[in-house]
């Protein structure tokens, strides 16, 4: 038996970066349809190397095999606002993670979704952890906050995103429901929209747990 766990924030009209307008509506029209305006980094999303001009590779060129595979779940409960996630938090995962594995960091931060602190006081990926992920060939790094770095600190945003994206680590931000995962290791999938030259895209993030 396999449990399929949805790790994706629901896209809805009025959430930051999202506008949904009706285009056709029954019964006056023959069908229902809508016009979607989506910020490329809204909700649960993936960053491409083009996000910071780390390369010319857009979201449409991210290899699909990087979007699916095994991932370790690192639990950092009761994380303090604005704190750094360090290599020492990895514990035994540091020895077990193999090149090509993913790393999902469960902080419970998604419970703050809809509050100012969700974006303004987020815990961040430390420089040493970003470098560790590159050196250990982590395939994908997934976090609950809307960014791996302090969105109000341009230098930090550029440095941490740059280390990861230039190092070949795919970034998925805005995950939720990680507390529903009961195993230390799952199969994680997050597929972006195929946007030519895109700097990022919303994804449907899913964990498959045996």
The CATH number of whichever domain residue 167 belongs to comes to: 3.50.30.50
Angle at the Cα of 52 from the Cα atoms of 47 and 54, rounded to 5 degrees = 95
How large is the average pLDDT for residues 148-164? Answer: 97
Residue 189 is part of which domain span?
Answer: 3-11+40-209
DSSP bridge partners of 34 = 22
Nearest to 129 by CA among 144, 141, 145, 146: 141
Both tokens of residue 61? Answer: 């060129």
Q: What is the pLDDT of residues 3-15, one digit of tens each?
A: 999 999 999 999 9
Is 169 part of any domain? yes
Strand partners, 185: 72
C-alpha 201/C-alpha 90 separation (Å) is: 28
Judged against a pLDDT cut of 60, whether residue 70 lies above it is answered with: yes
**How far is 59 from 50, CA to CA, in rounded Å?**
8
Q: How many domains does the chain fold into?
A: 1
pLDDT at 55: 60
Is residue 179 in a domain? Answer: yes
b/e per residue, 46-71, with b = 16+ CB within 10 A? bbbbbbbebeeebbeebeeebbbeeb
Q: Is the pLDDT of residue 73 over 60?
A: yes
pLDDT tier at 53, thresholds 50, 70, 90: confident
The mean pLDDT value of the chain amounts to 96
DSSP letters, 81-99, are TTPEE-GGGGTTHHHH--T
Contact 9, 165 (CB under 8 A): no
pLDDT tier for residue 99 given thresholds of 50, 70 and 90 = very high
What contacts 90, CB < 8 A, 6 or more positions away? 74, 97, 129, 132
Tokens of 199: 């700097």
Q: How far apart are CA 9 and CA 87, in angstroms?
A: 27
d(CA 109, CA 78): 9
Structural domain contains residue 29: no
Residue 17 covered by a domain: no
Q: pLDDT at residue 82 above 70?
A: yes
| Contact assessment for residue 124 and residue 144, using Cβ atoms and an 8 Å cutoff | no
Whether 62 contacts 48, CB under 8 Å: yes
Q: Does residue 93 carry a pLDDT above 80?
A: yes
Task: For residue 28, tell me if it sits in a domain.
Answer: no
Q: Answer whether residue 57 shows pLDDT above 90.
A: no
- Asked if the structure places residue 162 within a domain, the reply is yes
Has residue 23 been placed in a domain?
no
Q: Work out the percent of the chain whose per-residue pLDDT is above 70.
A: 99
| Contact indicator for 193, 59 with CB cutoff of 8 Å | yes
Q: Is 22 within the bounds of a domain?
A: no
pLDDT at res. 161:
96
**How large is the average pLDDT for residues 174-203?**
97
Is residue 54 very low, low, confident or very high in pLDDT (cuts 50, 70, 90)?
A: low
């Amino acid at each position: 038996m396999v449990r399929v766990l949805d790790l994706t924030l629901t896209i809805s009209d009025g959430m930051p970066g999202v506008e949904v307008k009706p285009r056709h509506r029954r019964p006056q029209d023959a069908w229902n349809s809508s016009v979607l305006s989506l910020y490329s980094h809204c909700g649960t999303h993936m960053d491409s190397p083009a996000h910071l001009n780390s390369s010319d590779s857009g979201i449409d060129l991210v290899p699909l095999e990087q979007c699916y595979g095994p991932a370790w779940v690192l639990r950092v409960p009761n994380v303090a606002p604005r704190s750094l996630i360090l290599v020492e938090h990895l514990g035994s995962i540091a020895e077990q993670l193999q090149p090509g594995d993913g790393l999902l960091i469960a902080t419970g931060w998604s419970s703050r979704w809809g509050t100012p602190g969700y974006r303004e006081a987020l815990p961040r990926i430390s420089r040493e952890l970003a470098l560790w992920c590159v050196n250990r060939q982590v395939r994908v790094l997934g976090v609950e906050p809307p960014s791996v770095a302090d969105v109000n600190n341009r230098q930090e945003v550029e440095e941490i995103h740059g280390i990861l994206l230039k190092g070949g680590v795919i970034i998925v931000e805005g995950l939720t429901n990680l507390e529903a995962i009961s195993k230390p290791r799952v199969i994680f999938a997050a597929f972006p929209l195929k946007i030519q030259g895109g700097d990022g895209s919303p994804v449907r993030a899913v964990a498959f747990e045996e």
